[in-house]
Each structure stands twice: as C-alpha cells, then as structure tokens.
Structure 1
Amino acid sequence: MSDNLSLKAFVVLMKSAKSVEDKIKKDINSFGMKTSDFAILEALYHKGRQTIRQISEAVLINTGSITYVIDKLENKDLLERINCKEDRRVVYIEITEKGKQLMDEIFPKHQKVIEHIFEDISTEDKETVINVLKQVGKKEENNKGDNN
C-alpha cells in the first residue's frame, strides 16, 4: 500500500509542479521575459553580486547556458560583469540600476501571482509541504549516484 502512496505522491507532485510552472511561465512572459532571464535577475536582485557558478546553482541552469543568458541581459544593460580584484579568474555578475528598477516594478506583481497560487493553503500546510519536499530533496541529494 505504501508503494502505491509513494507513486501517487510522485504523480501528484509532478502534476502540481507542472501546473505551477505553467502559471509562473505565463506570468514571467507577460513581462516580455524568458524564465531563465527572470530567474537570473531575481537571484541578483535578492542576493546581490554573485559568480556565474553561484547563479547557476541558485537558478538550476547549467553554466554553459547561463553564459548566453548573461550575455543577453548584459547587452540590455540589466546586469554587468565585474572582475574580482583579488583573483583575476573570478568574475562577478551584478544587477545594474536599470535591472534593479525593472525588478522593483515587476517582482511585486510576480510575488502576488505566487501568493495567489497558495492563498487557500493554510500556513501550517505550507510549512508541511516545505518540510516534506526538503526531506525528499535531501534524501535524493544524499543518494546521488545510487540507482535505487
């Protein structure tokens, strides 16, 4: 029986994730942006200056693709590259004033969309979902490389 519940939990999780992802993509597209562009700007907007590796880990985009997206955003003057004075191999990415102004305008609207998705879920249930999904993620992080 628990195997059936595990399968059902997986299917419900995947369907729910797809539904939320579609809603979020539609919202981000309404601002004339791609999800990857928004994710990078959002990471810099909230976390400040980051390396490409840090951004890649934060937004789950591989470093090869992220360089292309950063180039596009830099050409739009939404972010800039800054060389590290202590280590010439390190390049930081930082949101520009123009990028900050854009995020000041659109992020509150985006946050309202997310809040709307979860508005009928109690605080307790949200905390439960967070904790359960963390457990699933940690278990799989600890088991990387295992096929079981």
Structure 2
Amino acid sequence: MDKNALFNQFVTFTASVHQVTNDLSQNIITVAITPVQYKILEYLKVSQPVTITEISDCHHMSLPNTSRELKKLQEKKLIEKISDTEDRRKHYVRLTEDGEQMMDEAFRCIEVRFQHLIQDVSEEDLEEIKHALDILQQKVFKLDVRL
C-alpha cells in the first residue's frame, strides 16, 4: 500500500467533504446568524454538551472569539451554559429548546438535499457507502491525533 498516495486521496476526500457539507447547508437558516455561529450550533447538535475550549479547538478559533460568538448565540436564546457539578469553574454549552428546534429544521432541509444527491444510487452502492462511512468513523475520524 502506497501510504503517500492514500494520504493524497484522503486530502482530496476531506476537501470534497467540506465542499459538499457547505453546499448541503447553504442558505438553510433564516434566523440572523452568521456561518460561524451556524457551525457552532451544528457542532453542538451532534456533540453536546461540550466545553468552550472544545468548541474553540474544533473550529480553530481563539477562546475570546469563541466566547464572543457564544454570547451572541446565548442572547438569541439558542444556547445555554451550564456549570459542571463537580467543578463550578468549568462550563458546558448545549442547545436550548429553541436551538434544538432550529437545528432539527436545518437538518431536515439538509436531509432532503442529501436524499436528492443519493436518489439514483443503487441499494448495493448505498450499503457500500454505509460500510465505508462506518470504517472511516471507526478508523480515521475517532483517532486521538497528537502530532
């Protein structure tokens, strides 16, 4: 196995994932939020509750910028901060009921677009895609990468 070629294929794949993700989520939120705020809400929808540091790390944002964006989302009543029961200095962020409803609606729109993308894919190919996604999730995207 040529690991360099595999790496290049992976880079191409991840760039394609970013493009498709952007295309699928384009213009789906009507509430006045920025693309950065949407990405934070999307991350919360699939990973909550998370710490401010986890959000900052995931989105390659400074802690002050992350805190500023979270404050705006909190003012819009889309997120809430909760204190850790064991360490009151540590706070978690999660979606509020309004935030959950907004992201559920966004994900329904994304699903419609996704279903359109795969409408002509055979059942056999769908199974292969599912299997490939399972392997990627287990072997690549859940790795604890420390460089």
RMSD: 3.5
Match of 1:61 among 54, 59, 62: 59
Match of 1:122 among 117, 126, 129: 126
The count of residues paired between Structure 1 and Structure 2 equals: 141
- SS of corresponding position for 1:89: coil
Q: Which moved more, 1:18-27 or 1:67-76?
A: 18-27
Q: Which moved more, 1:34-43 or 1:93-102?
A: 34-43
Task: Report matched runs for 1:22-33 at 5 Å.
Answer: 22-28=22-28, 33=33
> TM-score if structure 1 supplies the norm length?
0.65
CA distance in structure 2 between the aligned counterparts of 1:139 and 1:47, rounded to whole angstroms: 16
Q: Does structure 2 conserve the Cα–Cα contact (< 8 Å) formed by 1:51 and 1:93?
A: yes
Deviations 1:121-140 (A, max 9, x none): 52213322542575455789
Question: Is 1:86 aligned to residue 90 of structure 2?
Answer: no
CA distance in structure 2 between the aligned counterparts of 1:46 and 1:19, rounded to whole angstroms: 19
Structure 1, unmatched stretches of 5+, are none
Structure 2, unmatched stretches of 5+, are none
% identity of equivalent residues = 28
- SS of corresponding position for 2:106: helix
Change (3 A) 1:117 1:71: farther
- Give the deviation of 1:54 after TM superposition: 3.8
- Give the deviation of 1:79 after TM superposition: 1.1
Higher share of residues assigned helix: 1
Report the counterpart of residue 71 of structure 1 in structure 2.
Answer: 71
CA distance in structure 2 between the aligned counterparts of 1:85 and 1:5, rounded to whole angstroms: 48
Task: Report matched runs for 1:1-148 at 5 Å.
Answer: 2=2, 5-6=5-6, 9-10=9-10, 12-14=12-14, 16-28=16-28, 33-56=33-56, 60-62=58-60, 63-64=62-63, 65-119=65-119, 120=121, 121-132=125-136, 135-136=139-140, 141=145, 144-145=146-147
Q: Which amino acid aligns with 2:13?
A: L
CA distance in structure 1 between the aligned counterparts of 2:143 and 2:96, rounded to whole angstroms: 38
Q: Does structure 2 conserve the Cα–Cα contact (< 8 Å) formed by 1:80 and 1:96?
A: yes
Change (3 A) 1:75 1:113: same
Q: Which amino acid aligns with 2:72?
A: K
